[in-house]
């Protein structure tokens, strides 16, 4: 019987790093009889990636009327993941959010093809999870509200529901993320039966790290400035944050401690944690908690923006001026120029706009030149066709 190891996250538990590590170990995993299909080339370079479950996820989400996937295409999907081996690894956080109806379709698919499935999921202490999730919203959705405002509206801890949903249909192994931060790959190997010592070790570099408190402050502050000017910036925080994470992977990003958030989480989720821990202690030998043992950064109100971080962010904006809306860059330059100590940063942003204009002008000239060449080529082609027509008339 073939065996599939299905890593489903959960969110904010190092999935991108694990997937990159699996990608660079594709050949060494094959040596041990396991196949990991690399569907995102960026994974091998430790860039932010979504794993290799995209094809499988798309297949099970299809409506029956729209489905072109019959038995033959299912075999193609399974061949992608198994590639002739008896053991395959599929990994993606997108699977952790599947509705029960899709989990049932997964179960039916694997049962139909006589494949045994073992699900692996990492779970995280609540405070750190909600903090990391908040920062992800800052990065991805331009969230401008504070950690306290965002978290004290939460009513559900997704990890609980994910475990309940999957454990109804599959054998699930839970790993406590906070207990294995030094090497998240080692317990994964233990769970699937791979000899870690025969693989390329998990590199120390971070993938998709959390923004530091200073970076959050600067990105959100700029977002608020632009919002106050009525400038829409759909991709601003995503572009800036991704570049910060990529260029400065070793920046320390400790969570900020808020007693307000801690008290809220303890009150809202205390009973759920106790019930969940009854399962975890019995089956997986760990306990979830609100706070972990790591050091937290104290919360400081009313401090000015960190100059070094502000300079970094301005550099990132300047380097990405071709991708960021011109109005946003102009607005930020105008705002920074209102402070004498930030005049040099405003000048840097305006310089990037001047460069952007030069590139646009050169592109426009090149486009007109190519268009002219195309017209000439088209005219020549028409001329040849007309000559042929006339020559044909004399025959």
**Residue 261, helix vs strand vs coil:** helix
Residue pair 51/93 in contact (Cβ under 8 Å)? The answer is yes
Mark whether 40 and 95 lie in a shared domain.
yes
Mark whether 89 and 34 lie in a shared domain.
yes
Question: Domain for residue 376, yes or no?
Answer: no
The b/e string for 96-132 (b: 16+ C-beta within 10 A; e otherwise) is bbbeeeebebbbebbeeeebebbbbbbbbbbbbbbbb
Mark whether 219 and 346 lie in a shared domain.
yes
Mark whether 225 and 336 lie in a shared domain.
yes
d(CA 233, CA 210): 21
Residue pair 4/117 in contact (Cβ under 8 Å)? The answer is yes
Question: Domain for residue 135, yes or no?
Answer: no
Question: Domain for residue 308, yes or no?
Answer: yes
Mark whether 232 and 185 lie in a shared domain.
no
Q: Quick one: tokens of 351?
A: 């310089």
Whether residue 45 is predicted with pLDDT greater than 50 in this model: the reply is yes
Mark whether 180 and 267 lie in a shared domain.
no
Closest CA to 211 of 133, 157, 159: 133
Arithmetic mean of pLDDT over the chain: 87
Whether residue 297 is predicted with pLDDT greater than 60 in this model: the reply is yes
Q: What percent of the chain has pLDDT over 70?
A: 85
Q: Which tens digits make up the pLDDT trace of 232-268?
A: 877 899 999 999 998 898 888 888 999 999 999 999 9
Question: Domain for residue 357, yes or no?
Answer: no
**DSSP summary character for residue 291:** S
Question: Domain for residue 145, yes or no?
Answer: no
Closest CA to 333 of 341, 325, 342: 342
Residue pair 199/36 in contact (Cβ under 8 Å)? The answer is no
Whether residue 385 is predicted with pLDDT greater than 90 in this model: the reply is no
Mark whether 174 and 233 lie in a shared domain.
no
Q: What are the DSSP E strand ranges found in the chain?
A: 2-7, 34-36, 87-91, 115-123, 171-176, 256-257, 297-298
Indicate the pTM of the whole model. 0.82
Q: Which tens digits make up the pLDDT trace of 300-357?
A: 776 789 999 999 999 999 999 988 999 999 999 999 999 999 999 999 999 998 865 5
Residue pair 62/47 in contact (Cβ under 8 Å)? The answer is no
Whether residue 358 is predicted with pLDDT greater than 70 in this model: the reply is no
Mark whether 34 and 171 lie in a shared domain.
yes
Comparing 218 with 393, the larger pLDDT belongs to 218
d(CA 158, CA 314): 36
Mark whether 114 and 20 lie in a shared domain.
yes
Question: Domain for residue 204, yes or no?
Answer: no
Domain that holds residue 322: 213-351
Mark whether 242 and 174 lie in a shared domain.
no
**DSSP summary character for residue 148:** H
Mark whether 103 and 229 lie in a shared domain.
no
Question: Domain for residue 392, yes or no?
Answer: no
Q: Quick one: tokens of 99?
A: 């509705």
Res. 269 pLDDT band, cuts 50 70 90: very high
Q: What is the CATH number of the domain that holds 189?
A: 3.40.50
Res. 288 pLDDT band, cuts 50 70 90: very high
Q: How much is the average pLDDT of 159-175?
A: 95
Res. 44 pLDDT band, cuts 50 70 90: confident
Mark whether 225 and 346 lie in a shared domain.
yes
Q: What is the pLDDT of residue 395?
A: 46
Whether residue 204 is predicted with pLDDT greater than 80 in this model: the reply is no
**Max CA distance (Å), the chain:** 96
Question: Domain for residue 342, yes or no?
Answer: yes
Structural domains in the chain (count): 2
d(CA 331, CA 225): 8
d(CA 118, CA 103): 13
């Amino acid at each position: 019987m073939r065996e599939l190891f299905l890593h489903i996250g959960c969110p904010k538990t190092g999935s991108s790093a694990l997937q990159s590590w699996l990608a660079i170990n594709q050949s060494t995993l094959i040596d041990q009889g396991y196949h990991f299909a690399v569907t995102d080339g960026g994974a091998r370079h430790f860039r932010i990636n979504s794993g290799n479950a995209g094809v499988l996820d798309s297949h099970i989400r299809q409506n029956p009327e729209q489905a072109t996937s019959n038995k033959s295409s299912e075999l193609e999907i399974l061949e992608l993941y198994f590639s002739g081996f008896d053991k395959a690894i599929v990994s993606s956080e997108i699977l952790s959010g599947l509705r029960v109806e899709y989990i049932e379709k997964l179960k039916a698919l694997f049962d139909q093809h006589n494949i045994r499935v073992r699900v692996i999921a990492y779970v995280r202490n609540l405070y750190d999870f909600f903090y990391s999730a908040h920062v992800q919203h800052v990065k991805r959705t331009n969230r401008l509200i504070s950690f306290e405002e965002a978290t004290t509206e939460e009513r559900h801890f997704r990890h609980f529901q994910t475990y309940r949903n999957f454990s109804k249909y599959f054998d699930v192994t839970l790993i406590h993320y906070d207990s294995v931060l030094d090497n998240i790959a080692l317990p994964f190997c233990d769970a699937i039966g791979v000899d870690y010592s025969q693989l390329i070790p998990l590199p120390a570099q971070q993938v998709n790290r959390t923004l530091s408190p200073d970076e959050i402050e600067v990105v959100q502050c700029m977002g608020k400035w632009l919002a106050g000017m009525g400038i829409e910036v759909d991709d601003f925080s995503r572009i800036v944050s991704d570049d910060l994470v990529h260029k400065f992977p070793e920046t320390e990003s400790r969570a900020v401690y808020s007693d307000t958030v801690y008290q809220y989480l303890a009150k809202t989720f205390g009973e759920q944690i106790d019930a969940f821990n009854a399962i975890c202690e019995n089956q997986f030998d760990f306990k979830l908690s609100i706070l972990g043992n790591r050091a937290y950064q104290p919360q400081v109100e009313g401090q000015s923006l960190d100059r070094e971080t502000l300079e970094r962010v301005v550099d990132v904006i300047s380097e990405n001026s071709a991708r960021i809306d011109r109005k946003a860059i102009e607005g930020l330059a105008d705002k920074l120029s209102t402070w004498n100590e930030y005049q040099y940063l405003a000048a840097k942003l305006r310089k990037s706009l001047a460069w952007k204009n030069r590139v646009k002008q050169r592109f426009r000239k090149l486009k007109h030149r190519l268009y002219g060449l195309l017209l000439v080529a088209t005219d020549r082609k028409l001329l040849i066709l007309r000559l042929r027509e006339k020559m044909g008339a004399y025959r």
